Chain A
């Protein structure tokens, strides 16, 4: 029983009604039977998350940090369910026979590799001199605590020691290493390893609302900000029960964002948010785009990811710079693809920071990664680009074409620009109601061809990159070119709140619910107060009641640990 930190009661409880503009989060009603406890949870903006299971990405990172295994062994597991734009949504991940079968396979291979490095595993314990049992027990307690991210219960130690004893006593196995391997193999299939259970402290702050234990908080922080297990400092803080107050938790979060492991999370988030997974399938008609070859795809991805990572973790961190920055990172091959847009010489295969022509390029928005993905095989696509801006940056969700509508994109006309052709289709009243939301935004990107290279002319005509943006909260108007649009997007509250809600879903592993309004408001306020610094947004995500509390677990069959 731990005394409750005083910091918990100082939580701001004001649940102001904030009109969320982000359609794509889809406020999902939260259950509740109207009991007194429900009222408390509601007032405190406390929303429980289903138990989280490690994604393949998190599993790979975790065995890297736990065992030094950097082979990405979890790649063979079935893919996660993708819901609300992300593959880490706790309520959506399903289990299956195949998943469990492959967990067993992976545990077998990872544990076999692990015991090739017994010296590290034993951490100074020598079974020959100190005894097999003593070293096994110390391994189970010490390493098991890292694997389960909390001290082991006695019955857990007993079970693992039991399987160790079985292995060393078995005539066909029999060695100390066999025993350690089997312990690792069991632990890697344990729910305490694969899942992230959160029970909370035994002392409620109010009603049935409880804070998390320091061990649970260490795990929450590390998987949220690093997508992997806690490091030694987090474990130490947990062991000292020093992850209780907002200040303690915020200080750890700030520290963690200085660590290289944060790069994994930044990249993982943007790979999904900005749909970079689609890059793998980008292919172009090389008779129209001779500059394209498949080896550009990884360079494009590395460029946009390096830029984002550098801005957020090393640079000013601002959304403004992400959307409008006039620099990027590339090597010689990529710089030659961008041509005159790169205003300084670049040599060699290493990525380096380069200055771009600020009249042509703006942040990640105009990167080839996005421009080429949201384009057709043989032409740019105002529809796809407009859809991308609407859905990913403004959190609109556009209707799909009606079920039985026949869609016919324009064929290439050598006498017209892409814009002229799409304007013709967009004028059809059957299409206009939806396409007026997308196509004009796409027109603003018409200076970027189907692979993302700058063009002033198309088919002998000057490119017209003027488009009218309508039905937004705060950026309706006419824009000429993506540089203007990027500035508007960066200053748009709708975009800023869209970014924070995307991070909310990714970081909390669930959709936004109606009960999250006060947490959302708090996050947005802090994001705004920092001039939309994404680092500050990530710290803010560790400070909400939604992150700090849950409702006490009522175990189905008693016997809580």
Chain B
């Protein structure tokens, strides 16, 4: 393969000492930057979203944490000592916020902030004299907060990576990450494009890469000058929009010289790409797997410390045709039947079991990558989130939050804790502590008074 040979040639060149330019990918053979500084690999945080609530009645693990016979989570059995099942954690803020169940469940999930008033998205009863509309989420999300804080310490190739699996649309129902109030973050949804964007550099001759970067630098310099002149001509509102655009260009330029390639396991991943069909319903599993493969490798390459993967969106109506379904309807439709309907309950178990298997797949990839004494999973915390507790009631209480990985021993894993109704804002605070960027409250203070107790 051409790709492999080029990479080997590159390594050979490195050992020959003939490469004059210090290309970061050559660090594959060297201790990582953070290892050299701190003696340990960096901590990472990954948010992992699936939609429409779960089967709350069977979600919890047994007391002994043996998951091997669990109807939903059997595939997580190998990792049971690295998991924390959180029962009784509620999205209290969602009940104060404007917006319908899915909207608030999604927009408040990582922000712990109420949805902004606005005229964008219709909610509830939009007919009549006082139509109800809402805007975007009303605060920075915890992943974006952490990305900002970490960026003060180190410039990674990507400030953060938001992967999507057939999210498709952009609305308050489909965005959980926000750089700030009213500032939703879109997802990288095309695995084929992702492969190029993330790993294209690894495949490129170092001299060619240096040339490409020099060129991009000049292009972006000219583009920025153009934007600066342009923005001076605009009125207030338009200038806000364009200034944000310009800031993104500046950020892109600042990361031009940064690449992945750190970490012994870092290499171009083996990925089965779904081609142009990545948005077709039946490609959902393949698209998701490709995205997870690349996400884990991006972490192994230290391309970012903060990531997320969002399967579909709130109100997901993906048809999970690859699991045995009795009713064969879309996920959201199935989630609306009464609990007494045995068929829909069986289907919801199959669907959530499938997500659990996908979660296990990603944990397996992460646990298989050694970084010194720890695995990548041990150095991380993966947070499985959902906009609802259960679909048919739209409850945002008892959300099925699950943590995997201890963030280098911060979390005391292998346990199941029932908090009996603590606000989820405290979980977000806990995550900032785990990532060594502690805050005392996050989002609405009333619902985030310090971290959850008993997690560490």
Which A residues lie at the B interface, using CB under 8 A?
A: 23-24, 26, 28, 50-51, 76, 78-83, 92, 94-102, 104-105, 107-108, 155-156, 159-160, 162-163, 166-167, 170, 172-173, 182, 185-186, 189-192, 195, 197, 199, 280-281, 283, 285, 376-378, 396-400, 403-404, 406-409, 511, 553-561
Contacts and interface: CB of A to CB of B under 8 A. Distances in A.
A440 to B, nearest CB: 17
B453 interface: no
B248 A199 contact: no
Contacts of B394: 403-404
Given A163-B222, A397-B122, A559-B233, 17 more contacts: A24-B126, A50-B238, A78-B186, A79-B168, A79-B169, A82-B170, A92-B120, A95-B245, A99-B186, A104-B219, A195-B242, A281-B319, A398-B126, A400-B124, A403-B124, A553-B233, A555-B232
A102 B241 CA distance: 17
Contact of A159 (B193, B215, B226, B239): B226
Nearest to A155: B229
B133 interface: yes
Nearest to A404: B393
B439 interface: no
B279 to A, nearest CB: 8
A403 B101 contact: yes
B11 to A, nearest CB: 24
B78 to A, nearest CB: 34
B170 A555 contact: no
Contacts of A156: 226, 229
Interface stretch (B62-70, B336-344, B419-427): B336-344
28 contacts: A26-B119, A51-B241, A79-B168, A83-B120, A94-B183, A96-B186, A97-B251, A98-B162, A98-B185, A98-B186, A99-B186, A101-B197, A101-B248, A163-B219, A167-B218, A182-B219, A186-B219, A191-B226, A191-B227, A191-B230, A197-B233, A403-B394, A406-B338, A554-B235, A555-B232, A556-B232, A556-B236, A559-B232
B201 interface: no
A16 B409 CA distance: 70
> Residue among A79, A280, A285 with the most chain B CB within 10 A?
A79
B234 A78 contact: no
Given A81-B171, A283-B281, A100 B235 contact: no
Nearest to B159: A97
Given A159-B222, A160-B222, A280 B280 contact: yes
Contacts of B338: 406, 408
Contact of A51 (B216, B220, B234, B395): B234
Contacts of A560: 233
A162 B226 CA distance: 12
A511 B120 CA distance: 10
Nearest to A556: B239
A280 to B, nearest CB: 7
Nearest to A378: B328
Q: Which 4 A-B pairs have the closest CB atoms?
A: A78-B186, A100-B248, A397-B126, A399-B125
Contacts of A376: 329
B127 interface: yes
A23 B128 contact: yes
B260 interface: no
A397 B129 CA distance: 12
A397 B127 contact: yes
A82 B171 contact: yes
Contacts of A79: 168-170, 186
A205 B281 CA distance: 54
B39 interface: no
A378 B245 CA distance: 47
B219 A185 contact: yes
A404 B239 CA distance: 42
B203 interface: no
Nearest to A52: B238
A213 to B, nearest CB: 14
Interface in B88-120: 100-101, 119-120
Nearest to B210: A172
A96 B225 CA distance: 19
A407 B334 CA distance: 10
B400 to A, nearest CB: 18
A156 B317 CA distance: 48
Contacts of B280: 280
A99 B252 CA distance: 11
Contacts of B241: 50-51, 95
Given A26-B131, A97-B251, A172 B236 contact: no
A285 B327 CA distance: 10
B223 interface: yes
B242 A186 contact: no
B387 interface: no
A403 B100 contact: yes
B330 to A, nearest CB: 8
Nearest to A163: B222
Contacts of B219: 104, 107, 163, 182, 185-186, 189
B184 A398 contact: no
Contacts of A95: 241, 244-245, 248
Contacts of A408: 336-338, 341
A204 to B, nearest CB: 15
A97 B218 contact: no
B3 interface: no
B153 interface: no
Given A99-B186, A156-B226, A78 B328 contact: no
Nearest to A193: B226
A76 B123 CA distance: 30
B73 interface: no
Contacts of B236: 554, 556
A192 B128 contact: no
B82 interface: no
Given A159-B225, A281-B281, A23 B126 contact: yes
B375 interface: no
B143 interface: no
A105 B200 CA distance: 12
B160 to A, nearest CB: 9
A404 B170 CA distance: 25
B187 interface: yes
Given A24-B126, A163-B218, A189-B219, A51 B119 contact: no
> Residue among A105, A156, A163, A191 with the most chain B CB within 10 A?
A191
B188 interface: yes
A190 B227 CA distance: 7
A199 B230 CA distance: 12
Contacts of B249: 100, 189
Contacts of B100: 400, 403
Contact of B235 (A190, A406, A555): A555
A83 B131 CA distance: 15
Contacts of B120: 81, 83, 92
